Amino acid sequence: MKEIYLDNNATTKVDERVFEEMRPYFCDLYGNPSSMHFFGGQVQKKVDEARSRVAALLGALPDEIVFTACGTESDNAAIRSALEVFPEKRHIITSRVEHPAVLTQCRNLTKRGYRVTELNVDGNGQLDLKELEAALDEDTAIVSLMYANNETGVIFPIEEAARMVKAKGALFHTDAVQAVGKIPLNMADSAIDLLSLSGHKLHAPKGVGVLYVRRGTPFRPLLVGGHQERGRRAGTENTASIIAMGKACELAHLHMPEEAGRVREMRDRLERELTALIPNTRINGGGTNRLPNTLSIAMEFVEGEGILLLLSEKGICASSGSACTSGSLEPSHVLRAMGVPFTCAHGSIRFSLSRFTTDAEIDAVIEALPPIISRLRQMSPFGREFLNK
């Protein structure tokens, strides 16, 4: 049974062209890029090339790119840096639907006396910029808001938020892990100070990330030691993965029109067919701007865990909008923040596509899911009541 992989917001396959680019830097060109000799120097040239490729995708300058181990490290480094840059400021603003890499850190900081404001979202998962404006004060050190939500694909009005924050004298950070490579970004025309991205979300390996630091932005490193990354992130560079990240960004830039076109068309067809074939469904975040590859669909009177298990039996890989897959009976914090009804939140499934997704795979999901939902509703007392009406 060949898998149908529609969980690309969790991780992506490494593009074979990316793998071939990084392959020589394991066993052949294994020098340390910080070494003075020619063997390390040739590796440093490839690291420099990778930095330029990442910068090109972001519309940034190469010296604004700091390589990290992952998106989580980038998020942590951005927020911790701002608090060191402004030690007198004790206020952080974020949103209720952020990735745990941001939310958990912010909530932990409240134990150290920091004041954290978590902005609400509406029923579509969208921010209210008036609430952000009201929350900003002279004590605000940093505002951290995700560019696009990992569960629903909802895109926040990040540029407007960044300009608002900058006008108040605070730093602005965005976790753009899900957005980079799917929608155009241009840091040259942006007010964003700090931006995080992760390699394994755009067909590079796991274990490599980037923190964009706008030139002139005050920054204090999270990891200290050596002089690597211009003193902004100590530790011997993960050269093979950094080189892979550069290639992945180059390819993402090349394939972005495909994300906006063919991938979006497949996502929209999947959405249309499933909502037509399965009664009592809703699209989480469907009333606002979303990433072109993401579909979060909620189906009443069923459990996400059961849906995923039956899909998996057919070789279809997706993820649940409910945290039940990790042993919790509570819906995800994103769906709770959106006010998704309890009967829908537990039956929410996320399908996330990539440029490797095919029309045949979408056809297979359209064929498989409606009978699964019907079967599960027959097993549920609430579902049977609904079906017998």
End-to-end CA distance of the chain: 38
**Displacement of CA 166 from its chain's centroid (Å):** 23
Closest CA to 171 of 133, 140, 199, 207: 140
Coil, helix or strand at residue 200: helix
Indicate if 344 belongs to the active site: no
Tokens of 138: 């002279």
Tokens of 313: 């039996």
C-alpha distances (whole Å) from 313 to each of 2, 4, 290, 317, 353 are 11, 11, 29, 9, 19
Which DSSP symbol is given to 389? Answer: -
- Please tell me which residue in 70, 106, 249, 324 is annotated as part of the active site: 324
What's the CA gap between 329 and 213, in Å, rounded? 39
Closest CA to 158 of 181, 126, 188: 126
Closest CA to 237 of 53, 58, 40: 40
How many CB atoms neighbour CB 104 within 10 A? 14
Strand bridging mode 140-144 / 91-95: parallel
What's the CA gap between 260 and 181, in Å, rounded? 10
What's the CA gap between 218 and 119, in Å, rounded? 25
- Judge contact between 296 and 352, C-beta under 8 A: no
On the CB side of 152, CA atoms within 13 Å amount to 33
- Judge contact between 207 and 10, C-beta under 8 A: no
- Judge contact between 175 and 98, C-beta under 8 A: yes
Q: What is the largest CA-CA distance in the chain?
A: 78
What is the CA angle 52-13-281, rounded to 5? 115
- Judge contact between 325 and 305, C-beta under 8 A: yes
Tokens of 126: 């969208």
- Annotated catalytic residues are 324
